[in-house]
Amino acid sequence: MPAGRWLLLETLAGDLEPTLVAEDATTRPWTVAARLHRTVGPARARLVVDTVRRCVAAGDPQRAVEGDNVVLAEPIRCAFDGIHGVQVWVGPVDAPVRPKRRVAAWDWDAVTELAHHGPGLEELVFARESEHVQVVRTPPDAFGRMVRFDGRVDYFDMATRLEPGGHWQGEVDMLGDDDGVRRFQMVTRARPEQRRVSALMHALPELGDDAAAVDPDVAMLRAVSQRSGVGVGIVLLSSGIIYEWAADPPPPLDRWAVERPAIDPADFAALRAACADAARRPGTSQRLALRVRFAEGEWINADAELVTITTAATGHGLLRVWSADHPG
């Protein structure tokens, strides 16, 4: 074994055993903690498992020494003050400890359709200055920064179903406030009992700048949409959730880019029905009338057009929106 290494174990679902998801910059596929002996040896594996359990129970950093082995455990907190993961340094007692990995947590609430960002998440993922950090965000606030997300179909299938045991992990490229693109390992689990998805974001700077790149199809979609003069949202057809704005809605709907408005129940039912129909019949389009209201505001009449993206298998559509008082 090397002089020492950092392990990342997820604890996203409290009723499941922690699993190993990364060794330093190398991602791992959900290796249960009891099998860590293949990675660090039997003696160290027992010490790691015990220290991780104490770290999760106490919610504080833990240190354990046994013979010439040392284990350090650092908790990763979520916005609700739970522990979504543990970073573990394991190595000889006389080995220098390298700086720990950069990891943060988030949760998505399926009831409110809002994301809750844990401590340090926005600084890490978005290179955001502290005065601009927020805990609660709408889906477009996050997914609009994903310039490459090859696993989005499988992720959204998991997030929509929210079934016991549902999980997804992969790599995503994120655009920061400084216009830099960075790669992350995203590790997610469904939490059906809480109607949430819980996740970790693990920075992978070792892959270098060449690893992180803008998906040309996404870039083209955003460029074309931003010249259309209307809001263009990417919508999940299974739920009607707009998770990214390829082009922000123009006034008086501009708050929709950063706020989830109330939609008239009858109009939302019509939108859900249109999404279901679009999933069944790709290539069709539908016009809709939507009444929306932002916090402490008046009802706004909006027009919308829904079309599918490529095929029904993608499960995604484009929702063009504009004020009924202005032509779309």
Alpha carbons 183 and 236: distance in angstroms, whole number: 24
Give Cα separations from 80 to 45, 129, 132, 230, 264 (angstroms).
Answer: 29, 22, 20, 36, 30
Residue 311 has what pLDDT? 47
Residue 299 has what pLDDT? 95
pLDDT digits (tens, 9 = 90+) for 69-126: 999 999 999 999 999 999 999 999 998 999 999 999 999 999 988 999 999 999 999 9
- Stretch 113-140: mean pLDDT: 94
Q: Which residue has the higher pLDDT, 167 or 241?
A: 167
Q: How confident is the model at residue 326 (pLDDT cuts 50, 70, 90)?
A: low
Alpha carbons 64 and 18: distance in angstroms, whole number: 18
Mean pLDDT, the chain, rounded, equals: 89
Residue 32 has what pLDDT? 84
The tokens describing 145, both together, are 């920064």
Helices (H) and strands (E) in the chain, counts: 7, 19
Is the confidence at residue 127, as pLDDT, over 50? yes
Q: Are strands 262-263 and 19-23 parallel, antiparallel or unpaired?
A: unpaired
| Residue (of 98, 92, 85, 54) closest to 71 by Cα position | 92
Collapsed DSSP state (helix, strand, coil) of residue 16: coil
Q: What is the DSSP string of 299-322?
A: -EEEEEEEEE-S-GGG-EEEEEEE
Is the confidence at residue 221, as pLDDT, over 90? no
List of residues 6+ apart from 52 with CB closer than 8 A: 9, 11, 18, 33, 73, 86, 88
- Stretch 234-239: mean pLDDT: 86
Residue 324 has what pLDDT? 83
pLDDT digits (tens, 9 = 90+) for 287-312: 999 999 998 889 999 999 998 876 44
Residue 124 has what pLDDT? 97
| Residue (of 197, 205, 198) closest to 171 by Cα position | 205
Q: Which of 101-110, 119-128, 160-169, 317-326 has the lowest mean pLDDT?
A: 317-326
- Stretch 41-49: mean pLDDT: 85
Q: Side-chain half-sphere of 132: how many Cα atoms within 13 Å?
A: 11
Q: Which one-letter DSSP state was computed for residue 14?
A: T
Categorise residue 102: left if φ over 0, alpha if ψ from -120 to 50, beta otherwise.
beta
Residue 84 has what pLDDT? 98
Residue 239 has what pLDDT? 82
- Stretch 121-135: mean pLDDT: 96
| Residue (of 32, 4, 302) closest to 167 by Cα position | 32
Q: Which of 13-27, 131-145, 168-182, 216-230 has the lowest mean pLDDT?
A: 216-230
Could you give the dihedral angle defined by the CA atoms of residues 315, 316, 317 and 321, in that order, rounded to the nearest 10 degrees?
130
Is the confidence at residue 26, as pLDDT, over 70? yes
Is the confidence at residue 183, as pLDDT, over 70? yes
Collapsed DSSP state (helix, strand, coil) of residue 251: coil
Alpha carbons 280 and 287: distance in angstroms, whole number: 17
Alpha carbons 53 and 267: distance in angstroms, whole number: 48
Q: How many CB atoms lie within 10 A of CB 205?
A: 14
Look up the pTM and report it: 0.84
Under 8 Å between Cβ of 181 and 212: yes
Is the confidence at residue 219, as pLDDT, over 60? yes
Looking at the chain, the whole-number percentage of residues with pLDDT higher than 90 is 59
Collapsed DSSP state (helix, strand, coil) of residue 41: coil
Residues β-bridged to residue 19: 10, 32
Q: Which residue has the higher pLDDT, 208 or 23?
A: 23
Collapsed DSSP state (helix, strand, coil) of residue 247: strand
Q: Which residue has the higher pLDDT, 190 or 206?
A: 190
Question: Which value, in Å, is the radius of gyration of the alpha carbons in the chain?
Answer: 22
